């Protein structure tokens, strides 16, 4: 690294340096998984010392949590404006609900690298026995379609295009968990000789269409 670049990095605040490290870590994790990336590599790419990284984040798990929080926030930014468009608002309740459910297919097809990383990260949390309080910021960052989904559902009940459910919150969570877990399983690859994930996208789409059909008022 050139002296000029070192000088620029040293001029950054701790918040700027840690934020830059998180972005670099996120890139490396997406490229090579969390387990395959060393703190020394993050430090080298970031331009700060390894000791500094440990001082900022405590452990590699700490920077992994920060990186996943950052990636979820980037996804939220990507999707945030979609549901505010005039085209979306002009649709009836069922059409809005259907489009929201298909956002899980978009996550699978357009953000497969992130979904693979999410599966690894979930295992890391369990393996390292990360306390829930250490995941509060991460939990708040997760892309959550439910508030928009609930509004669309209520519009659908009102305009007669969606059937009324006894507990729409539970219904949504059950469906969302199923979509996410199926996505992660398909993306981790075939493990058994009987596995065939060659039609993974259609498999997930079929499940989404089943849920949408169940909600539709016929």
DSSP string for 92-112: -HHHHHHHHHTHHHHHHHH-H
- 65: in domain: no
E strand intervals along 79-159? none
What is the model's pLDDT at position 2? 46
Q: Are 114 and 30 in contact (CB under 8 A)?
A: yes
What is the model's pLDDT at position 167? 97
Q: Give the domain-ending residue among 27, 43, 58.
A: 58
pLDDT at 59 over 70: yes
**162 phi, psi to nearest 5 deg:** -125, 140
Q: Are 60 and 36 in contact (CB under 8 A)?
A: no
- The Cα-based distances of 203 to 36, 101, 108, 126, 186 in angstroms read 30, 14, 11, 28, 9
pLDDT digits (tens, 9 = 90+) for 126-177: 999 999 999 999 999 998 899 999 999 999 999 999 999 999 999 999 999 9
Give the residue-averaged pLDDT of 168-193. Answer: 91
Residues 88, 193 within the same domain: yes
pLDDT at 116 over 60: yes
pLDDT digits (tens, 9 = 90+) for 6-50: 444 444 566 678 899 999 999 999 999 999 999 999 999 998 899
- 91: in domain: yes
pTM, 2 dp: 0.84
Structure token pair of residue 106:
């978009």
Residues 86, 185 within the same domain: yes
- 139: in domain: yes
Residues 50, 136 within the same domain: no
Give the residue-averaged pLDDT of 76-91. Answer: 89
- 70: in domain: no
Structure token pair of residue 77:
């930014």
User: Which domain covers residue 48, as residue numbers?
Assistant: 1-58
Residues 122, 201 within the same domain: yes
Residues 96, 51 within the same domain: no
Structure token pair of residue 218:
């016929």
Higher pLDDT among residues 171 and 81, named by residue: 171
Read off the CATH number of the domain in which 44 is found: 1.10.10.60
Residues 48, 88 within the same domain: no
Residues 179, 140 within the same domain: yes
């Amino acid at each position: 690294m050139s002296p000029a670049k070192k000088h620029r990095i040293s001029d950054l605040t701790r918040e700027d340096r840690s934020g830059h490290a998180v972005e670099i870590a996120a890139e490396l994790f997406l490229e090579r998984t969390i387990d395959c990336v060393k703190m020394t590599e993050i430090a080298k790419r970031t331009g700060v010392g390894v000791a500094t990284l440990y001082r900022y984040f405590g452990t590699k798990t700490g920077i992994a949590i920060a990186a996943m929080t950052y990636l979820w926030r980037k996804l939220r930014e990507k999707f945030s404006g979609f549901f505010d468009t005039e085209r979306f608002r002009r649709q009836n309740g069922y059409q809005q609900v259907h489009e929201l459910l298909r956002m899980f297919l978009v996550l699978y097809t357009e953000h497969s690298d992130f979904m693979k990383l999410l599966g690894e990260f979930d295992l890391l949390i369990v393996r390292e026995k990360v306390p829930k309080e250490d995941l509060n910021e991460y939990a708040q960052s997760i892309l959550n379609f439910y508030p928009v989904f609930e509004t669309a559902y209520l519009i659908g009940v009102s305009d007669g295009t969606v059937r009324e459910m006894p507990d729409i919150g539970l219904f949504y969570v059950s469906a969302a968990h199923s979509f996410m877990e199926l996505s992660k399983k398909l993306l981790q690859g075939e493990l058994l000789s009987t596995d065939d994930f060659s039609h993974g996208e259609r498999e997930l789409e079929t499940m989404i269409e089943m849920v949408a059909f169940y909600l539709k008022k016929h």
